Amino acid sequence: MASQMAILYYQIGVGSLMYAMTQTWLDLAFAMSSLSPYCHNPSAIHNDQEKRRLRYYWGGKGLALILGGHRDRGDDERGSYQLITGSVKSPYQI
Beta strand segments in the chain, E:
71-72, 80-81
The list of the chain residues with pLDDT below 70 reads: 24-27, 64-94
From CA 1, how far away is CA 43, in angstroms rounded?
Answer: 8
The pTM (predicted TM-score) of the whole model is: 0.51
* pLDDT of 60: 72
